[in-house]
Chains A and B, each alone.
Chain A
Amino acid sequence: GDSVTQMEGPVTLSEEAFLTINCTYTATGYPSLFWYVQYPGEGLQLLLKATKADDKGSNKGFEATYRKETTSFHLEKGSVQVSDSAVYFCALTQRTGGFKTIFGAGTRLFVKA
């Protein structure tokens, strides 16, 4: 079946460091790919998305590219801030009659000042 695998956390970085959170997926068909972010005490919110191969999603300095050949959607940011501390979820959604969304397990990021 479809699945999403993302790197285990927690990831601890110093402010201004480069961030990569790996995400790979398995899916039949052509899913849309998403990164969601969850700040403490809140629900998930959309960070960025890509709907087809080679699309790059970007938002708030974060980027991810839909790589069909490697079935990956790695999240990157060039310079993290303390305010980026949160849990990041990779997800895919497919329209299969209805909709099916598969979430990764989440990666907690701590950014130190």
Chain B
Amino acid sequence: DAGITQSPRYKITETGRQVTLMCHQTWSHSYMFWYRQDLGHGLRLIYYSAAADITDKGEVPDGYVVSRSKTENFPLTLESATRSQTSVYFCASLTLLGYEQYFGPGTRLTVT
């Protein structure tokens, strides 16, 4: 299927565990992004990537790690999950043709 997919869609984990959220896009867009969405805070950028092996911090990067060894994949890892990382996480890619972003369906993460 063409588009951008995220897995898992739902995840419950315990404080202190490592969690990886997966993101895959089929368009070969250079730019990809990770956001978290929380009530009262809107969308906040965690990390972004301009190309394979090029990543940079966004607004709220603490506690997260990203990698991008292939253009189509952009996993997000929570090294030691905390309750404050309970959120809905969205991955997105950007087309250079019109600068619009395409979002995945989101991962709802609960840290207990």
Chain B binds chain A: yes
The reply to whether A45 and B103 form a contact with Cβ atoms under 8 Å apart is yes
Question: How far does the alpha carbon of A34 sit from the alpha carbon of B103 in the complex, in Å?
Answer: 14
Residue of A nearest to B101 (CB): A101
Cβ contacts under 8 Å, B56 to chain A: 98
Contact assessment for A32 and B98 in the assembled complex, using a CB-CB cutoff below 8 Å: yes
For residue A1, give the distance in angstroms from its CB to the closest CB of chain B: 11
What mask results when residues 81 to 113 of chain A are scored 1 for a CB within 8 Å of chain B, else 0? 000000001000101001101011110000000
Interface size class of A (residues with CB under 8 A): 20 to 34
Interface residues of B in 27-84 (CB under 8 A from A): 31, 33, 42-43, 45, 48, 50, 56
- Please give, as numbers and ranges, the residues of chain A lying within 8 Å of B43 by CB-CB distance: 44, 89, 103, 106
Residue contact B100 to A98, C-beta cutoff 8 Å:
no
Q: Is the interface of A mostly helix, strand, loop or mixed?
A: strand
Within 8 A of B (CB), among A24-76: 32, 34, 36, 41-46, 49, 51
Write out the residue numbers on chain B whose beta carbons fall within 8 Å of the beta carbon of A42.
105-106
Q: Which residues of B contact A46 (CB under 8 A)?
A: 100-102
| Minimum distance in angstroms from A102 CB to a CB of chain B | 10
> Which residues of B are interface residues toward A (Cβ below 8 A)?
31, 33, 42-43, 45, 48, 50, 56, 90, 92, 94, 98-106
